[in-house]
Amino acid sequence: MSKTAHIIGAGVSGLAAAVRLSDAGYQVHVHEATQQAGGRCRSYFDAQTGLTIDNGNHLVLSGNSHVINYAKSIGTEAGLVGPARAQFAFADVKTGKHWQLDLGDGRIPTWLFDASRRVPDTSVGDYFALTPLIWAGNDKLVGDTIKCEGVLYDRLVQPLLLAALNVDPPEGSAGLAGAIVRETLLAGGQACRPLIARSGLSDVLVEPAIELLRKKGAGVHFGHELRGYTMAGERVSELKFGEGDVIALGADDVVVMAVPAWSAKNLLPGVKTPTEMRAIVNAHFNYVPPAGHAPLIGVVGGIVEWLFAFHNRLSITISNADRFVNVPREEFAQQIWDEICKVSNIKAPLPAWQIVRERRATFAATPAQNALRAGTRTEFKNLFLAGDWTDTGLPATIEGSIRSGDRAADMALGKA
**pLDDT of residue 416 exceeding 80:** no
Report the candidate in 32, 33, 39 with the shortest Cα–Cα distance to residue 55.
39
Q: Mean pLDDT over residues 281-298, rounded?
A: 96
Q: What is the pLDDT of residue 415?
A: 87
* Whole-number pLDDT of residue 79: 96
What pLDDT, on the 0 to 100 scale, is given for residue 185?
84
Neighbours of 273 (CB within 10 A): 21
Helix, strand or coil, per DSSP, at residue 14: helix
> What is the 3-state secondary structure of 364-397?
CCCHHHHCCCCCCECCCCCEEECCCCCCCCCCCC
Per-residue pLDDT, 1: 53
Q: How far apart are CA 127 and CA 153, in angstroms?
A: 10
Contact 360, 161 (CB under 8 A): no
Q: pLDDT over 70 for what percent of the chain?
A: 100
Give the mean model confidence (pLDDT) for residues 141-152. Answer: 97
Residue 255 has pLDDT above 80, yes or no: yes
Q: Which tens digit of pLDDT belongs to each residue from 404-414?
A: 999 999 999 99
pLDDT, tens digit (0-9, with 9 covering 90-100), for 303-323: 999 999 999 999 999 999 999
Is 399 a residue whose pLDDT tops 70? yes
Average pLDDT for 283-290: 98
pLDDT digits (tens, 9 = 90+) for 106-127: 888 889 999 999 999 999 999 9
Q: What does the pLDDT look like over 34-55, one tens digit per residue? A: 999 999 999 999 999 999 999 9
pLDDT tens digits, one per residue of 183-234: 888 888 999 999 999 899 999 999 999 999 999 999 999 999 999 999 999 9
Give mean pLDDT, residues 356-378.
97
pLDDT at position 109:
87
**Considering the chain, what is the average pLDDT of its residues?**
96
The DSSP string of 206-268 is: IHHHHHHHHHTT-EEEET--EEEEEEETTEEEEEEEGGG-EEEPPTT-EEEE---HHHHHHHS
